[in-house]
Structure 1
Amino acid sequence: MIRRIALGAVSALAITAMVPAAMAADLPAYEPPAPVIAVPSFTWTGPYIGVQAGYSWGSAARANKDGFLVGGYAGYNVQLDNSPVVLGIETDFNYADIDGRHGRARVDSDWNGATRARVGYAFDRFLAYAAGGVAYADRNLRIRGSGSDSKTALGWTVGGGVEYAATDDVAVRAEYRYNDYGKDRFKVGGRSEYTDHSVRVGVAYKFTSPF
């Protein structure tokens, strides 16, 4: 009798132990969630090269002058880590057709350029920036009946603009600049200053940064 009771107790315990195991086997297998892979956002960091065209107006030797320019630019941007701040350096060189007259005097400029530091604030693919640096240009002064003289002017420039990355590789821009090329002494006409304003549009190809 005692033996039968013991066997019954053992069987009951075995059945009790098997029920949770069977229920666990019926539950769906738990799979951990797939890791989230962060997709890198656009960055302005890297070198670029572009072409631009614009219109310039100003004064030199008391003559109002204006005209068009076309050229190229190249530079390098660095967007600070986890920040919208963009720092850069850029240089450009342009062919110009800028001239003006005042009385017997005629002034013109055939080329200009600048090397500038840039600081900007990025809204993802949109960049607003300010820039300033060294400006240079040729200056030609002719006075009817007295002759002519030419100088290479060196001064400063300041301005700003907006830029938009249409793709990861192509960015378009529009900007304004004020240029002050200082005063030069000519063999004809004496000392003359040269200042101008310009508006420009450009398109650039951005290379993938090696860093």
Structure 2
Amino acid sequence: MGSFVLRALAVVAAAAWTMSAQAADINYGSRAPYTVNQPLNAYSWAGPYLGGNLGYAWGSVANNPTKPSGFAGGVQAGYNFQNGPWVFGVEGDINASGAGDTFAPWKFSNPWFGTLRGRVGYAFNNVMFYGTGGLAFGELRATTFGLSESHTTAGWTAGVGAEMGFAPNWSAKVEYLYVDLSNTNFVITGVSNGYSFGLIRAGVNYRF
């Protein structure tokens, strides 16, 4: 699966460079006071933004053979500060998830999750590559013989991404995250269970 993620990021990077060349004549401008040391007419990543995302998650449950997977999607919001080509920011998201799996008599699912992350990126005009990491939180639900038990836990997340500006206020991204929701004791399983998963997703952002 790691090679799949690398190939996906490579494809997005190639497309981003192509669109960057096509967009070279667009007058993007800057967003003072969120940016410093930015060349005239360079694409600005600075300021607040809001967007949506859709992707696919796959993972495993600790101390249980189930491997929940499924589509996930939600909304994100963030804020960037730019210093020359360097972009620093914070982003939060909340997502609904269809990830689930059954291994008789157990069924585990992850109805929702969210993250709150820092981001550090390097921009080549309207193309940015970045690393990200921080807090993750979400729900793990266990069901067996008609009984259901849910726990909301916190954990951590880290990943990488590529984002491309295709209009003065609009950008598109592809991102890979690894998410680890910490273990907690489930009464109906009699053991400690947690959910860790990989997530690859695409998204669109609008900058204000």
- Which interval holds the TM-score relative to the shorter structure? 0.7 to 0.9
Instruction: State the alpha-carbon separation in 2 of the partners of residues 41 and 195 from structure 1.
Output: 39
Conserved in 1, the CA contact under 8 Å of 2:161 and 2:174? Answer: yes
Render the CA deviation track for 1:16-63: whole Å, top value 9, x for unaligned.
xxxxxxxxxxxxxxxxxxxxxx84322211110001000000011320
DSSP 3-state at the match of 1:43? coil
% identical aligned pairs? 35
Quick one: distance in 1 between partners of 2:44 and 2:205?
15
Q: Which runs of 5+ in 1 are unaligned?
A: 1-37
State whether residues 148 and 187 of structure 1, in contact with CA within 8 Å, keep that contact through their aligned partners in structure 2: no
Amino acid at match of 1:172: A
**CA 1:46 to 1:154, structure 2 compared with 1: closer, same or farther past 3 Å?**
same
> CA offsets, 1:66-108, max 9 Å, x none?
001111000001111xx21110000000111110012200001
Contact 2:177 2:199 in 1 (8 A): yes
Alignment of 1:113-128 (within 5 A): 113-128=114-129
Within 5 A, what are the aligned runs for 1:1-211?
Answer: 39-60=40-61, 61-80=64-83, 83-144=84-145, 147-189=147-189, 190-207=191-208
Larger CA Rg, structure 1 vs 2 = 1
Measure the CA separation in 2 of the matches of 1:109 and 1:143: 15
> Which residue in 2 is equivalent to 1:17?
none
Q: Show structure 2 runs of 5+ residues with no match.
A: 1-38
The DSSP-based 3-state class of the residue aligned with 1:72 is: strand
- TM-score w.r.t. the length of structure 2 is 0.78
Q: CA RMSD in A?
A: 1.2
User: CA separation in 1, counterparts of 2:60 and 2:145?
Assistant: 19
User: Size of the alignment, in residue pairs?
Assistant: 167
Per the normalisation by structure 1, the TM-score is: 0.76
